[in-house]
Chain A
């Protein structure tokens, strides 16, 4: 009898320790943060977590306190974000991360890039692992509504297309009855292919989705699929980097979906959302004013009141502060450190062979339109 009692007490001690351990292992992780095990087991769970989560504007304040923007992106999408051997992120999306950092913190390099897998992107946003998602992500109602994300001003208006081998018989998507199409898993493209094929009254043999573009490329080269469907901008980028040379591939003319690629922040973060949105507007507005990183000095003394307000130049009644939580000269920082929309586009997307298409200013028939800054 005694044996039993004693042994069981052992077990009890064991479990207590287990718990302490489990709680400790949490501590190890919380780089700097420190939820002690007492907190954890104390029972004031709701308040201790609830406060930090819903506090208004905490994200923007947290960024300012931290001194860097955690920007979710990817490491291998030519033109949008590519990781160089030196560990730099280069591309259109990467530059918009810098735009945001320049606007909020005045330092375009104050970005922590977080490379995310497709299916991890929204959870990273939801769990607060990243502040803002600039990862070639299509704005859809479903995502806006049920992924806990708030989508902002699109940085790129895209559409889905189809790429085939140059020597294949297909001229349009309608020719592709019975074809095998490869797409990236977890993107809007999967559903779009199926919808488009059924709209055209044809059926694909298979729509194969792969977790990463590299794998699609391997499969495509091997002849596993006839078509490779994705956003036209992505296809253009992938084609430009294709191992057998871009001539080996052909992008069909059909564009069969609307894909506004927009940055997103977590739901309930109005302040951060506004800051990010106006950072993007600044690049568009600057292009409209004709201000770029090379000539911005000439505008410092501009007489145009709209430009003076935009650049945060001191006026008679003081400096204009719209109350967005951004420094008054944020547009100057964005333009000098990164550039205006046209510059970013020309640097990263034009070399792939993309033309501006829908992504020109409204005044030139495009969709880029920044609300007035006043």
Chain B
């Protein structure tokens, strides 16, 4: 915002002591903020006993995933990092080319500046990573983190070097990855014994993937001119938007079983995933509907003028534009889902929150009032994830906004 550099004194006068009222406000606020910051720092670096977190780090992150199978997680992490690197590489290269085509080539940034940008963009995740590494008791996590970073960097370099035609193929990778990674991770364990952050990510990812087609169809159904279909879609959407997720989660645990034949009863994780999926689908439907409405009428008319049949028109003209416009909202919905997965705590799954609540009952830590420590740590895990995602979604939003107008 600021155009000309201000001297510190001017800045302070302008931003903190503009007039007498402002000055009083500043002083009061400074006292309050100072007290809060002081208390927080004192807690984090002084009074808090982080041993309970330290001793249970593995439990927080992966639950009871068997130790001799944890290499699978490492493999998936490395693969995910490599894919992320590849895609970023391809995307950056494409953007560069586009910029050159527009006669406005992006000047390559110096390496240090680029690191700085990455730091500014992902600082919460980086700080969390550092904290986790510092809390770890062995050197393995350091090696894993190193390998993941190397994989990401290598992926990025390879992605940047690939010819664009090959690059396009790589877009499929992030879509394919979960379908490969999940069975790979589930292999030794089955569905019902996941725990910790992994369970949270599993529930959120699977529900999001599963709810998307359902939400899309509900949105199309709601836009349909057939009254019965529209009525049905509206009914489903509004019903699930009107009830609390907690009720659905509870019901998935003790009520949903009645709707299945007895010999085909899905496991608990699957049942709760169904609850999350249906609930989120109702919201996704509304988001997609908003996106469909945002596509100008001229687009459909133009497509008709070109003689496109309705299905192709929807798939090739309307949906791509609609979905592009709703990516930020979908990310927002994913963030909600990510946070909402904590509800499985209520039905006794061993998710992050449940771990935080349980570890303080361990013989070594029992009765010492360590709620604050373990809950703050759990909150921090969620905060970093949700905050990073929301910032990314804002970035996408800004970029889309620039592109479409």
Do A and B touch directly, given a CB cutoff of 8 Å in the complex? yes
Taking CB atoms, residues of chain B closer than 8 Å to A7 are 223-225, 310
CB pair A52 B262 closer than 8 Å? yes
Output the nearest chain A residue to B191 by Cβ-Cβ distance.
Answer: A31
CB pair B220 A10 closer than 8 Å? yes
On whether A128 and B220 interact (CB within 8 A), knowing A15-B233, A29-B267, A29-B270, the answer reads no
| Contact count A vs B, C-beta below 8 Å | 143
CB pair A11 B366 closer than 8 Å? no
Cβ of B109 within 8 Å of any chain A Cβ, yes or no, is: no
Cβ of A34 within 8 Å of any chain B Cβ, yes or no, is: yes
Q: How far apart are B276's CB and chain A's nearest CB, in angstroms?
A: 11
A193 to B221, CA, bound (A): 54
Q: How far apart are B57's CB and chain A's nearest CB, in angstroms?
A: 15
On whether A123 and B221 interact (CB within 8 A), knowing A14-B216, A21-B214, the answer reads no
Q: How far apart are A27's CB and chain B's nearest CB, in angstroms?
A: 9
CB pair B221 A30 closer than 8 Å? no
B240-248, B250-258, B385-393 - the one binding chain A: B250-258
Cβ of B14 within 8 Å of any chain A Cβ, yes or no, is: no
Counting contact residues on chain B (CB < 8 A from A), the size range is 35 or more
Taking CB atoms, residues of chain B closer than 8 Å to A30 are 260, 264-266
B346-386 to A contact mask, C-beta < 8 Å, 1/0: 11100000000110010000111001000000000000000
Cβ of B229 within 8 Å of any chain A Cβ, yes or no, is: yes
Cβ of B210 within 8 Å of any chain A Cβ, yes or no, is: yes
Cβ of B88 within 8 Å of any chain A Cβ, yes or no, is: no
Output the nearest chain A residue to B222 by Cβ-Cβ distance.
Answer: A11
Taking CB atoms, residues of chain B closer than 8 Å to A371 are none
A112-120, A154-162, A275-283, A296-304 - the one binding chain B: A112-120
Q: Is the interface of A mostly helix, strand, loop or mixed?
A: helix
Cβ of A140 within 8 Å of any chain B Cβ, yes or no, is: no
Taking CB atoms, residues of chain B closer than 8 Å to A26 are 260, 264, 266
Cβ of B97 within 8 Å of any chain A Cβ, yes or no, is: no
**Chain B contacts with A in 291-333, Cβ cutoff 8 A:** 300, 304, 309-311, 313-314
Cβ of B232 within 8 Å of any chain A Cβ, yes or no, is: yes
Cβ of B203 within 8 Å of any chain A Cβ, yes or no, is: no
Q: Is the interface of B mostly helix, strand, loop or mixed?
A: helix
Cβ of A175 within 8 Å of any chain B Cβ, yes or no, is: no
Output the nearest chain B residue to A52 by Cβ-Cβ distance.
Answer: B263
A11 to B292, CA, bound (A): 13
Output the nearest chain B residue to A34 by Cβ-Cβ distance.
Answer: B264
Cβ of A315 within 8 Å of any chain B Cβ, yes or no, is: no
Q: Which of A9, A31, A115 sits near B348, CB closer than 8 Å?
A: A115
Q: Which of B311, B347, B357 sits near A10, CB closer than 8 Å?
A: B311
Q: Which of A10, A22, A28, A119 sits near B270, CB closer than 8 Å?
A: A28
Output the nearest chain A residue to B369 by Cβ-Cβ distance.
Answer: A221
Taking CB atoms, residues of chain A closer than 8 Å to B230 are 11
CB pair B262 A128 closer than 8 Å? yes
CB pair A15 B232 closer than 8 Å? yes
Cβ of A17 within 8 Å of any chain B Cβ, yes or no, is: yes
Output the nearest chain A residue to B220 by Cβ-Cβ distance.
Answer: A14
Cβ of B213 within 8 Å of any chain A Cβ, yes or no, is: yes
A48 to B261, CA, bound (A): 8
Cβ of B218 within 8 Å of any chain A Cβ, yes or no, is: yes
Q: Which of B220, B223, B262, B311 sits near A53, CB closer than 8 Å?
A: B262
Output the nearest chain A residue to B206 by Cβ-Cβ distance.
Answer: A28
On whether A11 and B223 interact (CB within 8 A), knowing A25-B210, A221-B367, the answer reads yes
Cβ of B226 within 8 Å of any chain A Cβ, yes or no, is: yes
CB pair A8 B254 closer than 8 Å? no
CB pair B213 A33 closer than 8 Å? no
Cβ of B277 within 8 Å of any chain A Cβ, yes or no, is: yes
**Chain B contacts with A in 189-240, Cβ cutoff 8 A:** 190-191, 210, 213-214, 216-218, 220-226, 229-230, 232-233
Output the nearest chain B residue to A29 by Cβ-Cβ distance.
Answer: B266
Q: Which of A35, A117, A124 sits near B264, CB closer than 8 Å?
A: A35
Taking CB atoms, residues of chain A closer than 8 Å to B254 are 119-120, 123-124
Highest count of chain B CB atoms <10 Å: which of A18, A218, A221: A18
CB pair A214 B357 closer than 8 Å? yes
Cβ of B137 within 8 Å of any chain A Cβ, yes or no, is: no
Taking CB atoms, residues of chain A closer than 8 Å to B300 are 3
Taking CB atoms, residues of chain B closer than 8 Å to A4 are 225
On whether A3 and B304 interact (CB within 8 A), knowing A10-B310, A13-B311, A87-B64, the answer reads yes
**Chain A contacts with B in 210-266, Cβ cutoff 8 A:** 211, 214, 217-218, 221, 242-244
A-B contacts, 22 of them at CB < 8 A, read A3-B300, A7-B310, A8-B229, A10-B220, A10-B310, A11-B226, A11-B233, A14-B221, A15-B229, A15-B232, A17-B217, A18-B217, A25-B210, A29-B265, A35-B264, A49-B261, A62-B263, A117-B348, A119-B254, A124-B257, A127-B258, A214-B361
14 further interface pairs, Cβ-Cβ under 8 Å (given A11-B221, A30-B266, A242-B367): A2-B304, A6-B310, A7-B225, A11-B222, A29-B271, A33-B265, A123-B253, A126-B257, A126-B258, A127-B257, A129-B257, A129-B268, A214-B357, A217-B361
7 closest A-B pairs by beta carbon, nearest first, are A29-B266, A243-B367, A11-B224, A127-B257, A6-B310, A29-B270, A14-B220
